[in-house]
Amino acid sequence: MNVIAFNGSPRKNGNTAILLNNALQGSLSQGAKGKCIDLYDLNYKGCVSCFACKLIGGKSYGKCTLKDELTSILDEINNADAIILGSPIYFGAVTGEMRSFLERLIFPSLVYDTNHSSLFKKKILTGFIFTMGRKETAIKEMGYDYHFGSIQFGLEKIFGSAETLCVTDTYQFDDYSKYYAPLFNAEEKAQRRKEKFPEACKQAFEMGVRFANAHSI
C-alpha cells in the first residue's frame, strides 16, 4: 500500500505536520509505504480555468494540463492507495497553497454532470486533518463546518471516500507572552496542549492504521 501525506502548512514542525506524520506512521506501522510532501516547498499555481481537462478528445481530458512542480506530484497520486491532506485554518479557510492544490487535484477529474461523476481511474482512501487556533464552538459559530464539509464532499466524489479530523484550540505561538493576542488564554492553551493534543495525535495515528488495514481487506 502506498500512502502520500500533504502538508498545507508553511510550518514543517507545526501542529498540522505533527498530526500528518502521526497519520503516516500509523499506516507505516501496518506495513504500508509512504511519505509526506510539504506543499510550501513546491512552486505551482491553482487552476487557471483553461478547461483543457474538460475538452472532449483533448490530450489533457481528465487531467491538469499545467506544467509546474505539482505536475509530477499529481502523477504520483495516480499510483497512490490513500492520500492524507492537512492544513491549518487561516482567515476561515485552508491555506492558499492547500486551496490551490485542491483545485488542481479535484477539478480535472470532476465531470460537469448532475451526479458530479469522477474521471479518476480508481477508488482510493482520503483523509483531511484540519487544525485551528479557535475553540471547537467556532466550527459552527463561524461557519467552518460548511468549509470542511465542502472539501470532504469533493474528495468523496472524486476518490470514493473521505474522512475528516478537526483539531481545535491548537498552539499558535511557542511563547504567548511575546505576542499581543488577548483573545487567547496562555495557561488554558498550555493545559490543552498537554492533555488534548496527544489524543489528537493518537486519532491521526489511528486514521493511518485504518487506511492501511482497509486496503488490505
- Backbone φ, ψ for residue 21 (5° rounding): -65, -35
One DSSP character per residue, 63-129 reads S----STTHHHHHHHTT-SEEEEEEEEETTEE-HHHHHHHHHHHGGGB-SSTT--B--SS--EEEEE
Q: What is the reported pLDDT for 140?
A: 93
* Domain residue limits at 175: 2-216
pLDDT in tens, 4-53: 999 999 999 999 999 999 999 999 999 999 999 999 999 999 999 999 99
- Sorted by sequence, the CB contacts under 8 Å of residue 37 that are 6+ apart come out as 4, 5, 6, 7, 73
CA distance linking residue 69 with residue 45, whole number of Å: 9
Q: What is the reported pLDDT for 217?
A: 42
Q: Report the CATH number at residue 115.
A: 3.40.50.360
Q: What is the reported pLDDT for 118?
A: 97
CA distance linking residue 78 with residue 121, whole number of Å: 8
Higher pLDDT, 21 or 214: 21
pLDDT in tens, 116-139: 999 999 999 999 999 999 999 999
pTM: 0.95
Grid coordinates representing 160? 470514493
Domain count, the chain: 1
> Average pLDDT of the chain?
95
CA distance linking residue 118 with residue 49, whole number of Å: 18
Q: What is the reported pLDDT for 215?
A: 63
